[in-house]
Amino acid sequence: MTLLERLKVETRPAHDRIELAFDLERRIATRESYKGVLQRFYGFHHAWEQAAAPVAGNRVFFERRRKTHLLVKDLQALGMTPDEIISLPQCRSLMPMPSPAAVLGSMYVIEGSTLGGAIISREVERRLGMSAETGCAYFRSYGRDIGVMWKSFGAALLEASSPEVDDLIVETAQGTFTVMHDWLCEAS
């Protein structure tokens, strides 16, 4: 079993748990509830990127995958000022990321969510009339390049895979799902 296959199997319960508990459908019902979703994602991504950046191995690879700037763009489109955005609560209970391999494990969750984001963006457009320019840049993240970005991430994971780091990668992915679940559902 490849590392990607193992991650998919071993994180499935955590993925299903967050999807069920967060009930995104309800949270994108109104402009105000959608803004609340983006605020929670901002609090997670901003803290996560600050923790992961100093440890991430390939700087260019990591930088291309940052999402906080997209959330800032969306929140500003929804009427928030930069000062209001910076003052939003931050997720403080992040899992340890002691190595580039751990960052990759955590990124599995972050990058995987972009696949779901493509579906969510269509719902946000249908329900709220928002595009990438008017409040839905985060969920559109890579636009037409989503498949290419996911494949390049998978290739990086497989390249990093070894018996010495695979357990850490899987454990960090599972921990990231738990932290994300707790953070997003805390505002319920």
- Does the pLDDT of residue 22 top 80, yes or no? no
pLDDT at 185: 86
Are 75 and 38 in contact by the 8 Å Cβ rule? The answer is: yes
Q: What is the pLDDT of residues 138-183, one digit of tens each?
A: 999 999 999 999 999 999 999 999 999 999 999 999 999 999 999 9
Q: What is the pLDDT of residues 103-145, one digit of tens each?
A: 999 999 999 999 889 889 999 999 999 999 999 999 999 999 9
Three-class SS state of 96: coil
Residue 4: pLDDT band (50, 70, 90) is: very high
- Does the pLDDT of residue 188 top 70, yes or no? no
pLDDT at 1: 92
How many domains are contained in the chain?
1
Task: Give the structural domain span for 150.
Answer: 3-186
Is the pTM here over 0.75, yes or no?
A: yes
Are 172 and 102 in contact by the 8 Å Cβ rule? The answer is: yes
CATH of the domain at 103: 1.20.910.10
Q: What is the pLDDT of residues 62-106, one digit of tens each?
A: 999 999 999 999 999 999 999 999 999 999 888 889 999 999 999
b/e 113-148 (16+ beta carbons within 10 angstroms → b): bbeebbebbebbbeebebebeebbbbbbbbeeebee
